[in-house]
């Protein structure tokens, strides 16, 4: 029998995420673990993920605690394993790199029910950190912050002794420093009579019983990202309707094949495929503005995000290379990513790198809405509820399946004619999906 050896387990590559929080400990010292058994669960601004054991063994040491903020390469645990297991065990698997986040609800298949990103996407500071920059810290307060946070504070000239930490055990994270600077800038603007006036703080309990409940972390991040996009992007929304009578009939004719494949075929994969093709013809909608806002970064890849409604908030997984995939492959990937999103198991790489986003209120209803652009993207397509309407064909009214579309775009990058032409061309593609076969 092989002698016991020790094996260190580290946080795998988590992309560009920093200071992710340990939200669950799945084992304790002395516990036996199997290969790929969960050791801990970590949560970034966009999603949560399990960190698995690379081999079977017994937990000798657990080197993290609830609320700890960890980064790639941090020691998680030390395992006692058989010598052979050490030899055979692969290294802790790295996460793939980039795919990016947002908002919206999508008509995705219900292979599972109902979590980051957004979208992302992306993320502002926790509410607990937004203390007044003039507030004095408690006497002899101990500053609890990591090296990266301290470096950022030095670069911005922030006294960490005046920053309130929102991490585990009061740890100060980067978002706390950024929130402190933001609060100081807002205070300076308000003092000069500029900036956006703050809403009044109202004690609602004066009018009747109240209850305050915390928002999910993903929901808070998403709300702040949307607010940031709304303030920074010059939004214009173009509305139209696509006649998808033939497309919907074709989709329904594939019901038996879809069932045999174990996939629920909705209109969404057709819409994603048509969007990818249309973005080739209108490359400015598949771009981002540069930092100086005097040029466009045209992206020669077509990674499309789709918004999923989850218990934790709206999450936007990203499907990469939509232009290279068929409808069946897209339907399977939509189902897989939707299930992972609702189970809180998306990897950071599955939330990054989006170039365009599709969001749907089809199940909720409505004839149109104004989706908020998922910056730094410059456009997002909103899909309404499919409805049968009488349409004049030149001789009589005919019942047609009409799909409302709402394209929001950044007017700094896209003019009204280009946005309108994009929607018209998309309606044409969805009206006769065979046209996709004619495109190069």
- Paired with 160 in beta bridges are none
Which residues have C-beta within 8 Å of that of residue 194, sequence separation ≥ 6?
Answer: none
Residues in the chain: 440
CB 62 within 8 A of CB 33: no
Burial (Cβ within 10 Å: 0-12, 13-18, ≥19) of residue 191: exposed
Fill in the DSSP letter of residue 323.
Answer: G
Residue pLDDT, tens place only, 272-295: 999 999 999 999 999 999 989 999
Report the distance separating Cα 410 and Cα 419, nearest Å.
Answer: 10
Q: How crowded is residue 185: how many other Cβ atoms within 10 Å of its Cβ? A: 12
Tens digits of pLDDT across the chain (440 residues): 567 889 999 999 887 778 888 888 889 999 999 988 889 988 776 667 788 999 999 999 999 998 889 999 999 999 999 866 554 444 444 444 443 333 333 343 433 333 333 344 334 434 344 444 444 444 434 577 776 788 788 888 888 888 988 877 677 888 889 989 988 877 665 544 445 677 788 889 999 999 988 888 777 888 888 888 998 999 999 999 999 999 999 999 999 999 999 999 999 999 999 999 999 999 999 999 998 999 999 999 999 999 998 888 889 999 999 999 999 999 999 999 999 999 989 998 999 999 999 999 877 777 889 999 999 999 999 999 999 999 999 999 999 999 999 999 999 999 999 999 999 999 999 999 888 876 64
Active site residues: 411
The per-residue pLDDT for range 200-228, each reduced to its tens digit, is 888 899 999 999 888 887 778 888 888 88
What is the DSSP code string of 196-227? PPPPPP--GGGTS-----PPPHHHHHHHHHHH
Q: Which two tokens stand for residue 36?
A: 């790929």
Cis before residue 376, ω within 30 degrees of 0?
yes
Specify the pTM. Answer: 0.62
Q: Where in the chain is the domain with CATH 2.40.50.100?
A: 4-88
CB 394: neighbour CB atoms within 10 A? 5
Q: Under a CB-based contact definition with an 8 Å cutoff, are residues 57 and 82 in contact?
A: yes
Give the CATH number of domain 4-88: 2.40.50.100
| Whether CATH 3.30.559.10 fits 219-438 | yes
Cα 142 to Cα 126, 164, 204, 312: the distances in Å are 20, 11, 35, 33
């Amino acid at each position: 029998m092989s002698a016991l050896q020790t094996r260190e387990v580290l946080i795998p590559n988590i992309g560009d995420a920093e200071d992710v929080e340990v939200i669950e400990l799945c084992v304790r010292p002395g516990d036996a673990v199997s290969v790929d058994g969960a050791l801990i669960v970590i949560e970034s601004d966009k999603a949560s993920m399990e960190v698995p054991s690379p081999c079977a063994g017994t937990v000798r040491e657990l080197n993290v605690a609830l609320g700890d903020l960890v980064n790639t390469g941090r020691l998680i645990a030390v395992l006692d394993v058989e010598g052979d297991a050490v030899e055979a065990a692969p290294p802790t698997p790295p996460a793939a790199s980039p795919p990016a986040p947002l908002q919206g609800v999508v008509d995705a298949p219900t292979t599972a029910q109902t979590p980051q990103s957004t979208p992302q996407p992306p993320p502002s500071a926790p509410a607990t950190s937004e203390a007044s920059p003039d507030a004095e810290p408690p006497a002899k307060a101990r500053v609890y912050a990591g090296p990266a946070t301290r470096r950022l504070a030095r670069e911005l000239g922030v006294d960490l002794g005046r920053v309130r930490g929102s991490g585990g055990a009061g740890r100060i994270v980067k978002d706390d420093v950024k929130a402190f600077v933001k609060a100081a800038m807002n205070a300076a603007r308000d003092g000069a009579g500029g900036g956006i006036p703050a809403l009044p703080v109202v004690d609602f309990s004066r009018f009747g019983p109240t209850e305050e409940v915390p928002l999910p972390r993903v929901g808070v991040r998403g709300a702040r990202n949307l607010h940031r996009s709304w303030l920074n992007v010059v939004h214009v929304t173009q509305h139209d309707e696509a006649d998808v009578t033939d497309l919907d009939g074709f989709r329904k004719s594939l019901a038996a094949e879809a069932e045999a494949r174990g996939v629920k075929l909705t209109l969404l994969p057709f819409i994603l495929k048509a969007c990818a093709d249309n973005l080739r013809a209108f490359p400015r909608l598949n771009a981002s503005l540069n930092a100086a806002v005097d040029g466009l970064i045209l992206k020669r890849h077509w990674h499309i995000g789709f918004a999923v409604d989850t218990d934790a908030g709206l999450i936007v997984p990203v499907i990469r290379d939509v232009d290279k995939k068929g409808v069946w492959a897209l339907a399977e990937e939509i189902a897989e990513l939707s299930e992972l999103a609702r189970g809180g198991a998306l990897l950071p790489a599955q939330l990054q790198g989006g170039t365009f986003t599709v969001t749907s209120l089809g199940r909720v209803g409505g004839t149109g809405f104004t989706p908020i652009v998922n910056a730094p993207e410059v456009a997002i397509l909103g899909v309404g509820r499919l409805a049968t309407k009488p349409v004049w064909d030149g001789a009589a009214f005919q019942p047609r399946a009409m799909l409302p579309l709402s394209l929001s775009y950044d007017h700094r990058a896209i003019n009204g004619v280009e946005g309108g032409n994009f929607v018209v061309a998309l309606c044409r593609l969805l009206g006769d999906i065979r046209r996709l076969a004619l495109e190069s």
